Structure 1
Amino acid sequence: MRFVHVDSVEPGDRLGRTIYTGGGTVLLADNVQLTVYMINTLKRIGVTMVYIKDEHFDDVEIEDVVSEETKRMVINKMSEMFESLRSGKEFNTRHVSVSVDRLLDEIMINKHVLAQLSDIRTEDNQQYLHALNVCIMSVLIGINVGLNQLQLKDLAIGALLHDIGKVGIEGEETGRNHHTWRGFEIIKAKREISLLAAHIALQHHEALNGQGIPRGLDANNIHLYAKIVAVANTFDNLISDFTEGKAMQPHVACEHVSALAGTKLDHDLVLHFLKTVSAYPTGTSVRLSTRETGVVVNQHRGLPGRPVVRVVKQEDEELVIKELDLAKNPTVFIESVIG
């Protein structure tokens, strides 16, 4: 399958991956034949990229750090938790703990897989996918820096709940009404959750140069976990249409995060991050320096910018299919991503 912009989808194309609602239920199922109405609905609810089936790439599988089933479970529990907060009710901390335990189990098994972060975002599910993505990336960074299982759980809970203070906020975020302070107070009130998780919510918008918010802390006073979540949060915001306006392509977002290393973001943590995330997610259409176009079909851990690209082209009335492993072809580069 291919990962394409919704504007290039045509009626009759078949969906390559299921799209879920904010509650974790199926919105459009894998393999459904898309109609004009469905395509227009996807655009209306904010979808910009989708997976489409393609006979030349039917064998291409998206290797995920976390399974679809677990993602649905986490999104469903987060939806219930956020709805409780909006209604002024207490949220169930046991659900948070169980969700994080399941996430950690899968991430530990698949820790050598590059995070793809290409799930389909809608206006309805984007806040939950953002929290989930930040959690996954933060744990992968935490593993790289040598955190133990208990430390990873505190980090994962804080990452998953880092934006909980946004729930129910209306109007301008100022002073103690800023979502970082509100998140800190909400999590701090839960004795079952480590205070470190509350400090992640409070500090994830602080910057090494002291120009962050809400307290303008310098590098020495920002907790390691908050520094990790800041890297993951920055990247996921950049690749989302819902937080930074027009979404950046992952490889461009990686460059942007790299540019912030040493000033706003921790330099060493950025290096660890760049080893965990795919700059060109599987299914992405690319143009190579050879003037050929192809689709990314495989990844290399440690070399996220040098994937395997399958080229399908017509030569002398014959269909030629070949694969270029950019890790083994150092003179071939990806020049651009095709819409």
Structure 2
Amino acid sequence: MLKKIAIDDIRPGMYVVDSGLSWLEYPYLYMKEGMISSQITLNAIISEGYTEAVIDTELSMGAVLGGENGDEALSRDLEGLPEFFPPPPIIPVAEEMDKAKSVYSDTVRYARTLMDGVRMGKAIDLEDSSLLVEEIIGSVTRNCDALTGLSKLRTFDEYTFSHCVNVSVLSVVFGRFLGKTEDELRMLGQAGLFHDVGKQLVPSAVLNKPGRLTPEEFAVIKQHPLLGCKHLYGQDDGRRIEQAIMMGMLEHHEKFNGTGYPRGLSGDGISEMGRIIAVVDVYDALSSRRVYKAPMHPHKALGLMYSMRGKEFHPGYVERFIKCLGIYPVGSTVRLNTGHVAVVTISNPREPLHPLITVVADKAGPIVPRKLDLAGQYKVRIESTLDPLEVGIDPVAVLEKAA
């Protein structure tokens, strides 16, 4: 299980994981992967100014952190949450996939135009963004698993554009799970699309710096939520920008414990729009493929975020997000205790450890796909998550055929 801890809590024998989070937003997070071999190594890390690290409790030597099976503990903790489940899908995921692909691609094209335009000082097209988010809401309403799966499985050359789209899509999915109205979902979707536009107004020398940022450079980066809001608010189009959209953009890096930015808000001082987008933003950053880094498996990303609950994230929000997506989100490639390989095709909010899967391979290789509902039986279980590229599986193709 992955866990984010303070440098002061690290001990020799702990195994540090490279989370893949950007230096731009986490310059004090130590991410050189490997075992902390000695106190001398640890002292050197502390002297360099790092304040946090992500460790793998299973790879760490000895009873460093101990504890029971992380997935089972997480599943049990989720049982105590007040339950709200959105209406069931209107159509099967396979039937929605073509439309979801079109919506996703259209939104990525809009995001590219949006970012290029902001960099050149152009106004943001609110009308087009609203229409696109309405398309996202429609797809999510018909079957949320199609766009949810695509948000993690589609690969685009530019992370910046797909990240904005993914945050928009997953914010709508999460908002629907929380019972938000359609108008609230639209504002969530637009705030997700716009949340990082302020980065285009940061000097390129800072934004594109390959190495770790200096404290002065990080101070510049921390202004990007405010810069984005000022750009949007300053548009002279005669229309009122909804406050909720502005709050989502401005507060997506604020943290429950007050260590976020740009205003250092804490607790109830952070709007719900900001809380939702904060959770989604970190999840997508962790679980997205970069040029320099393979994605963290969604299952591991959610586990890491769970360790940050009540610190960086408001109590209950990460837990509900995990219940929304499932401990093993749709599209996850998994290995079963039988040795078979499968793709998660339908999540199960009531029993997050037991989604519906499509088994696609055994130890010898590909087989005729067959569905298996893990709920209600305990002989077959998920043993681990896999990188689909490493095992030659195309999860999108599996979802396209899922009934």
TM over 0.5: yes
In percent, how many aligned pairs have the same letter?
Answer: 27
Aligned partner (choices 153, 156, 164) of residue 119 of structure 1: 153
Alignment partner, residue 299 of structure 1 = 346
Q: Distance in 1 between matches of 2:113 and 2:178?
A: 33
User: Which structure 1 segments of 5+ residues have no match?
Assistant: 1-59
| Within-5 A mapping of 1:241-320 | 241-242=289-290, 245-277=293-325, 279-280=327-328, 284-290=332-338, 292-296=339-343, 298-302=345-349, 303-307=351-355, 308-310=357-359, 312-313=361-362
1:237-256 deviation per Cα after TM superposition (whole angstroms, max 9, x unaligned): 11023399442101111111
1:239-275 deviation per Cα after TM superposition (whole angstroms, max 9, x unaligned): 0233994421011111112111211112322222113
Deviation at 1:196, TM superposition (A): 2.1
SS of match in other structure, 1:110 = helix
Query: Does 2:254 correspond to 1:209?
Result: no
Contact kept? 2:96, 2:143, Cα under 8 Å: no
1:5-59 deviation per Cα after TM superposition (whole angstroms, max 9, x unaligned): xxxxxxxxxxxxxxxxxxxxxxxxxxxxxxxxxxxxxxxxxxxxxxxxxxxxxxx
Deviation at 1:287, TM superposition (A): 2.3
Aligned partner (choices 213, 216, 221) of residue 269 of structure 2: 221
265 and 63 in structure 1: CA distance in 2 versus 1, 3 angstrom threshold: farther
SS of match in other structure, 2:148 = coil
297 and 222 in structure 1: CA distance in 2 versus 1, 3 angstrom threshold: closer
Q: Distance in 1 between matches of 2:343 and 2:95?
A: 10
324 and 94 in structure 1: CA distance in 2 versus 1, 3 angstrom threshold: closer
Q: Distance in 2 between matches of 1:329 and 1:221?
A: 44
Contact kept? 1:93, 1:192, Cα under 8 Å: no
Alignment partner, residue 181 of structure 1 = 226
| Within-5 A mapping of 1:71-86 | 71-86=104-119
Deviation at 1:122, TM superposition (A): 3.4
Aligned partner (choices 359, 362, 378) of residue 330 of structure 1: 378
193 and 305 in structure 1: CA distance in 2 versus 1, 3 angstrom threshold: farther
Deviation at 1:320, TM superposition (A): 8.3
Alignment partner, residue 67 of structure 1 = 100
62 and 330 in structure 1: CA distance in 2 versus 1, 3 angstrom threshold: farther
Contact kept? 2:329, 2:347, Cα under 8 Å: no
| Within-5 A mapping of 1:5-84 | 61=94, 67-84=100-117
Deviation at 1:225, TM superposition (A): 0.5
Deviation at 1:113, TM superposition (A): 6.5
Query: Does 2:166 correspond to 1:166?
Result: no
Say which structure is richer in helix: 2
Deviation at 1:326, TM superposition (A): 1.8
Aligned partner (choices 287, 304, 319) of residue 239 of structure 1: 287
Residue identity matched to 2:129: V
Contact kept? 1:180, 1:202, Cα under 8 Å: yes
| Within-5 A mapping of 1:189-204 | 189-190=234-235, 191-204=239-252
Contact kept? 2:248, 2:274, Cα under 8 Å: yes
313 and 162 in structure 1: CA distance in 2 versus 1, 3 angstrom threshold: closer
94 and 334 in structure 1: CA distance in 2 versus 1, 3 angstrom threshold: same
Residue identity matched to 2:121: G
| Within-5 A mapping of 1:83-122 | 83-111=116-144, 115-116=148-149, 117-122=151-156
Aligned partner (choices 163, 169, 174) of residue 141 of structure 1: 174
1:81-140 deviation per Cα after TM superposition (whole angstroms, max 9, x unaligned): 22212222223222112212222222233247782233332332x222211111122122
320 and 156 in structure 1: CA distance in 2 versus 1, 3 angstrom threshold: closer
1:116-175 deviation per Cα after TM superposition (whole angstroms, max 9, x unaligned): 233332332x22221111112212222222222222222221111111111242213425
1:207-232 deviation per Cα after TM superposition (whole angstroms, max 9, x unaligned): 10111112211111100000000111
Q: Distance in 2 between matches of 1:323 and 1:152?
A: 32
Residue identity matched to 1:299: I
SS of match in other structure, 1:286 = strand
Residue identity matched to 1:263: K
Q: Distance in 2 between matches of 1:156 and 1:321?
A: 35
Contact kept? 1:287, 1:334, Cα under 8 Å: yes
User: Which structure 2 segments of 5+ residues have no match?
Assistant: 1-92, 207-216, 388-403
TM-score, scaled to structure 1: 0.71
Aligned alpha-carbon RMSD (Å): 3.0
83 and 257 in structure 1: CA distance in 2 versus 1, 3 angstrom threshold: same
SS of match in other structure, 2:335 = strand
